[in-house]
Amino acid sequence: MKDHSMKNVLGISIFMLISATSSVALAQNDKMTPIPVPNQPTAITLGTGKLPESTADEAWHSQYGSVFARNVSIATLTPFLPSKAKATGAAVIVAPGGGFRTLSMENEGWQVAKALADKGVAAFVLKYRLNPTPPDMAGFEESMRQMFSGAARRPPATSDPSQALAPQIADASAAFALIRSRAKEWNVDPNKVGMIGFSAGAMLTMSTTLYGKDVNPAFIGNIYGPLSAVTVPANAPPLFIALASDDPFFANAGFGLIESWKTAKRPVEFHLYEQGGHGFGMYQKETTSTGWFESFVAWLRMHKYAR
């Protein structure tokens, strides 16, 4: 989290969602196929503006039996609301991963949100702004190959994540503000709004918590994101972490984040799965990492946020 270049490392991760432990069916479905931009009638524009460096239109593709977006230049928030009978008053912003170049909208977004709404938690999928990529699929694939080879130009490093992720933190902060402003309409308690992120989305969740202004999430989830040590604020929210020990990016970098939370005497729960690779999300696999969601819901239930 201390280096802007981590965004490039995370960019690789979306193309390694299928680890050695993944099913054959998914591994055979790794081709990126362009698809039309889906109709998103309930998506709400967040009003954080368009990235000035974005010139290509938003584009979508399928891969691994799931759906991804890229060249997102306008941030949106899509609500998935529980029935009034089920609603607990809690809400969570869901931040998909994709290395800040693409977003795993289905596996780490919509499916997560639908499952949370079924547990009585109002869920909101954040389609945050991304680093621009070539408009055509061939160019996009080539840009990723260059990044794999180390040939792609790296952005300048910075020790300040609030600068490195400023547009994305602004998007997440706007999402918190919108939910709280419409809390009565959506049957949400303004004091019970949290956030969960996956990979790059986990990095955004942590950065928003630490550097966002007046955000104050009630709880946060870091799913296979960086675990670097941080300075923990006195009012840090309860933190849930899930990671596979065979994750190719973050499993061997230590567990400083957990130690930081513990040292600050703030609530933290950590699940380290034997297998699962990176990007398991809501994919049904034969590894125990598939159980992360029920563990997360049980944790929310323990904190009186879910049914």
Helix axes 292-302, 111-118, angle to 10 degrees: 40
Give the model confidence (pLDDT) of 241-263 as tens digits: 999 999 988 998 899 999 999 99
Dump the DSSP string for 35-60.
EPPPP-TT-EE------TT--SPPEE
Give the model confidence (pLDDT) of 46-67 as tens digits: 999 999 889 999 999 999 889 9
Dump the DSSP string for 65-79.
TEEEEE---S-EEEE
The confidence score (pLDDT) of residue 159 equals 53
CATH class in words for 6-302:
alpha beta
Residue from 94, 106, 34 nearest 66 by CA: 106
Q: Counting beta carbons within 10 angstroms of the beta carbon of residue 225, is it exposed (0 to 12), middle (13 to 18) or buried (19 or more)?
A: buried
> Is the pLDDT confidence value at 298 over 60?
yes
> Is the pLDDT confidence value at 1 over 60?
no
Cα angle: 131, vertex 74, 133; to 5 degrees: 25
Task: Report which DSSP code applies to 134.
Answer: -
The confidence score (pLDDT) of residue 9 equals 39
> Is the pLDDT confidence value at 148 over 70?
no
Q: Are residues 295 and 241 in contact, defined by beta-carbon separation less than 8 angstroms?
A: no
Q: Counting beta carbons within 10 angstroms of the beta carbon of residue 229, is it exposed (0 to 12), middle (13 to 18) or buried (19 or more)?
A: middle
> Is the pLDDT confidence value at 161 over 80?
no
**Average pLDDT of the chain, as a whole number:** 88
Q: What is the pTM of this model?
A: 0.90
* Residues composing the chain: 307
| Over residues 169-173, mean pLDDT | 98
Tokens of 63: 């891969």
For the CA atoms of 132, 54, 163, 107, the dihedral, rounded to the nearest 10 degrees, stands at -50
> Is the pLDDT confidence value at 303 over 70?
yes
37 Cβ neighbours under 8 A, 6+ residues apart: 58, 59, 60
The confidence score (pLDDT) of residue 149 equals 65
> Is the pLDDT confidence value at 173 over 50?
yes
The confidence score (pLDDT) of residue 160 equals 74
Tally of CB atoms within 10 A around 235: 7
Residue from 251, 175, 254 nearest 215 by CA: 175
User: Which of the four pLDDT bands, split at 50, 70 and 90, describes residue 141?
Assistant: confident
| Over residues 233-237, mean pLDDT | 96
> Is the pLDDT confidence value at 15 over 90?
no
The confidence score (pLDDT) of residue 142 equals 87
